[in-house]
Amino acid sequence: METLQIKGTILTPSLGDAYVAALKRNSYLSILRAASIVQPADVADITPVLAYAAAQTSPTQVAVKGGGAHSSTWASSDGGIVIDLFKLNKVALSEDKNSISVQGGALWEDVYKITSQAKVEVVGAPLWFVGVGGFTLGGGYGPLSGEHGLAIDNLLSATVVLADGRVVKTSATEEPDLFWAIRGGGGQFGIVVEFVFKVHPYAGPFTGGLLVYPIADKSDLRKVIDEWKKTQTSAERFTMHFSRPPPDFKPCVIIFPSTLHDVDGARARRSFAPFLELSAGRAQLPFRTVPDFHAVSHAADKALEHAPRRLVIRGTMFSDFYPELLGAVWDKWVDFTEGNPDVRASAVLWDLTVPDRIADIKPGETALKTRMPHYWIAIQGRSTTDESVDACREFTSDVVQFVRAKNAELSGQDLGWFLNMCQGDEKPEDVFGENLPRLRAVKATYDPGDVFNKGVSIEPLV
């Protein structure tokens, strides 16, 4: 492997610190020791690596790393080759500012630096360190999704290195089946080396902040949701967290409200007012208006600085904020975080983005399972010790299973799992639903040997 003629870097364990640094992921639990890590300097570097892996007598696993933010081990390999795309992070805004091309290893940080400077927007992740690759291929639910749909709904074209080394362009008119599959089907069809996204007009200034509600009674949860429903529009983006903030680590509901187009602060005053009233006399931090999304994507930096990095995330979709669903998740989370200080940083995040635009796209138009109006929940298990990791895994798994089943019971709709927050042990039909047969057929065309097999398994149709 070390003798492969490429312009990029090849790292093996014998290289010590540089190799160890390249294994790093957002979660310590996502790290596996690869036999080699290849960091392509350009797209042409990728084909020889795939050829090398294919030529070995015993199959060598190939894993692809975008931003390394996924909390599974899908972007890592135990003894195989990792193709780490981090050097492929160029971003170019078109001259007419209608589209932006982003290389497959870019972080949203790389994109927001450009869009913020040019005063335009793109549907991306809420946090700067999330990779464009994994986020987009799993659907991409972002803070601007209320106004513009998901990242995949804004994808105009992509360039993909296939398992056999060919580089193909894909769009609604070129290799359309592949274009369909990568919009929600994940990274199992090839290595996306370039995404081209639709660009939208400036959506700032953005006003955000933090409201902390120590919860004495579960009915308070319902009050928070009722207030939000009264004021919500697609130009507000709220998230609700169950969290135990220092210094006393009491169970709290924390609301992160954020408004778009907040030119003179009027929108924030209007949409935050009921929440401020609800929290009267209780802890809250001041609100801040920032000019651009780059600043918004750094808003959680301080809070995340000390968060334990043994992180496991699982997520699922739900149809509405049913009081019995909210209350039961609250009880499960309080119980889990009460007794063991190792895991008290574990949190539950409810995304409160208005779902209408997401539901504008017809089911089956992209590979995403669910297009009926829905929300998503992320269960974040965080542990300060190795000993408590299994408990976190069990907790996240238990809560998402509960939410999925309870939501199905209450709404009559089984919305399945959220690919961007899966761990790989999920049944593919529960992630891709009715799209699975077509995904398997596309897989048979573009990756018949199942080279890109990390993730929720999509077996090529035989």
Q: Looking at this protein, which amino acid is placed at residue 271?
A: S
238 lies in the site for ligand FAD, by CB under 6 A: no
From 10, 11, 23, 26, residue interacting with ligand FAD (rule: CB under 6 A) = 26
From 111-119, 120-128, 329-337, 434-442, span contacting ligand FAD (CB under 6 A): 120-128
**Shortest distance, position 161 Cβ to ligand FAD, whole Å:** 8
133 lies in the site for ligand FAD, by CB under 6 A: yes
Q: Which is nearer to ligand FAD, 162 or 268 (CB)?
A: 162
204 lies in the site for ligand FAD, by CB under 6 A: no
CA distance 193 to 182: 12
Q: Which is nearer to ligand FAD, 49 or 85 (CB)?
A: 85
Choose among 44, 110, 444: nearest CA to 101. 110
From 8, 40, 104, 185, residue interacting with ligand FAD (rule: CB under 6 A) = 104
Tokens of 236: 């507000």
**Shortest distance, position 421 Cβ to ligand FAD, whole Å:** 6
127 lies in the site for ligand FAD, by CB under 6 A: yes
**Shortest distance, position 157 Cβ to ligand FAD, whole Å:** 14
Interface characters, 138-157, with ligand FAD (x: CB under 6 A)? xxxx----------------
From 134-142, 245-253, 337-345, 390-398, span contacting ligand FAD (CB under 6 A): 134-142
From 40, 124, 131, 257, residue interacting with ligand FAD (rule: CB under 6 A) = 131
Q: Which is nearer to ligand FAD, 284 or 378 (CB)?
A: 378
Choose among 180, 194, 205: nearest CA to 91. 194
Interface characters, 32-71, with ligand FAD (x: CB under 6 A)? --------------------------------xxxxxxxx
74 lies in the site for ligand FAD, by CB under 6 A: yes
CA distance 87 to 281: 49
Q: Which is nearer to ligand FAD, 65 or 267 (CB)?
A: 65
Binding site for ligand FAD (CB under 6 A): 26, 64-71, 74-75, 85, 104, 125-127, 130-131, 133-135, 137-141, 187, 191-192, 420-421, 454-455
